[in-house]
């Protein structure tokens, strides 16, 4: 099983690892800081042994172990080889800011309107999220943008913890975000808590505090049908003065 270093340290930019499996164009490692696509967050890029990593995915090796496959064209690595991995930090950090911004968005929409999220997706510095509004409240775009930026400026800590499954499934905030849908084979659940705002079972990478998000612009709201309204955001650098 590949140890997921980003679960404990989202700020790790490079690491040493041992190759545990290799096939043409891809390698699995005993440990990795590369985030594999999942939970609405796209995979990292970077280098492994100096060669570009073009895709990162959850998968299995030939023995059926759960591993992370790093796609590396033209590699000549074989099991047992030591390699250095380096994350493309600009892209990853942008994704951490964006991912955290989405939690803030979910948190303020729940607190203000008690409306749950139905889905979402992100790219570096831009994202969309769907909510069960019907219809959207008047003046929604402006109001939600102000509420989100207030929480970003409040510099709330983003705390990661690991809960036994039995404990997590009785947590009111986690029930709301459908913790019960996580496979029963998962004994320990990773929880990302923006203190006092939003709490979710989550395997993604986030910044340490909401101020690191910078600022958020609501660029579009649109209807995707009954009870499904889409909010598009951009993550921008923090406003400097004025405002």
193 is a contact residue toward Zn ion (CB under 5 A) = no
Residue 42 or 204: which CB sits closer to Zn ion?
Answer: 204
| Number of chain positions touching Zn ion (CB under 5 A) | 2
Candidates 3-11, 72-80, 198-206, 217-225 — which segment interacts with Zn ion by CB under 5 A? 198-206
**Of residues 19, 50, 51, 53, the one with CA closest to residue 36:** 53
Residue 204 or 215: which CB sits closer to Zn ion?
Answer: 204
* Edge-to-edge order in the sheet of strand 188-194: 158-164, 188-194, 198-201
Element (DSSP H or E) covering residue 68? strand 66-71
Candidates 1-9, 108-116, 136-144, 204-212 — which segment interacts with Zn ion by CB under 5 A? 204-212
Residues 6 or more apart in contact with residue 96 via CB below 8 angstroms: 10, 205, 206, 207, 212
Residue 8 or 23: which CB sits closer to Zn ion?
Answer: 8
Residue 157 to residues 7, 61, 152, 185: CA-CA distances in angstroms? 17, 37, 10, 30
Residue 155 to residues 69, 151, 152, 179, 198: CA-CA distances in angstroms? 36, 7, 6, 26, 14
Residue 17 or 192: which CB sits closer to Zn ion?
Answer: 192
Q: How far apart are the first and last CA of the chain?
A: 49
204 is a contact residue toward Zn ion (CB under 5 A) = yes
Neighbours of 158 (CB within 10 A): 23
Task: State which of residues 44, 145, 193, 202 lies at the interface with Zn ion (CB under 5 A).
Answer: 202
Residue 46 or 204: which CB sits closer to Zn ion?
Answer: 204
Residue 106 or 144: which CB sits closer to Zn ion?
Answer: 106
> Smallest distance from the beta carbon of 122 to Zn ion, in angstroms?
10
> Smallest distance from the beta carbon of 6 to Zn ion, in angstroms?
12
User: DSSP code of 41?
Assistant: B
Collapsing DSSP to helix, strand or coil, 193 comes out as: strand
Candidates 4-12, 131-139, 195-203, 224-232 — which segment interacts with Zn ion by CB under 5 A? 195-203
> Smallest distance from the beta carbon of 152 to Zn ion, in angstroms?
15
> Smallest distance from the beta carbon of 105 to Zn ion, in angstroms?
11
Collapsing DSSP to helix, strand or coil, 148 comes out as: helix
107 is a contact residue toward Zn ion (CB under 5 A) = no
> Smallest distance from the beta carbon of 235 to Zn ion, in angstroms?
14
Collapsing DSSP to helix, strand or coil, 113 comes out as: helix
- Beta-sheet strands, E only, within 148-187: 158-164
Residues that bind Zn ion (CB under 5 A): 202, 204
């Amino acid at each position: 099983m590949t140890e997921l270093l980003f679960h404990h340290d989202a700020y790790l930019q490079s690491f040493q690892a041992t190759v545990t499996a290799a096939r043409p164009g891809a390698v699995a490692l005993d440990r990795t800081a590369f985030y594999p696509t999942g939970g609405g967050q796209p995979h990292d890029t970077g280098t492994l042994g100096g060669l570009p990593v073009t895709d990162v995915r959850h998968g299995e090796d030939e023995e059926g172990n759960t591993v992370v496959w790093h796609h590396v064209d033209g590699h000549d690595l074989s099991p047992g080889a030591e390699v250095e991995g380096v994350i493309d930090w600009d892209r990853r950090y942008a994704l951490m800011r964006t991912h955290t911004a989405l939690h803030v968005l979910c948190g303020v929409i729940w607190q203000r309107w008690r409306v749950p999220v139905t889905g979402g997706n992100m790219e570096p510095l831009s994202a969309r999220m769907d909510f069960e509004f019907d219809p959207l409240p008047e003046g929604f775009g402006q109001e939600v943008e102000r509420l989100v930026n207030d929480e970003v400026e409040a510099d709330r800590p983003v705390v990661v913890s690991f809960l036994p499954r039995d404990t997590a499934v009785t947590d009111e905030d986690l029930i709301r975000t459908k913790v019960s849908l996580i496979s029963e084979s998962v004994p320990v659940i990773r929880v990302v808590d923006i203190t006092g705002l939003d709490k979710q079972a989550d395997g993604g990478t986030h910044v340490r505090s909401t101020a690191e998000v910078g600022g958020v612009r609501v660029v579009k709201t649109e209807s995707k049908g009954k009870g499904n309204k889409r909010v598009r955001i951009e993550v921008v650098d923090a406003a400097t003065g004025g405002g």
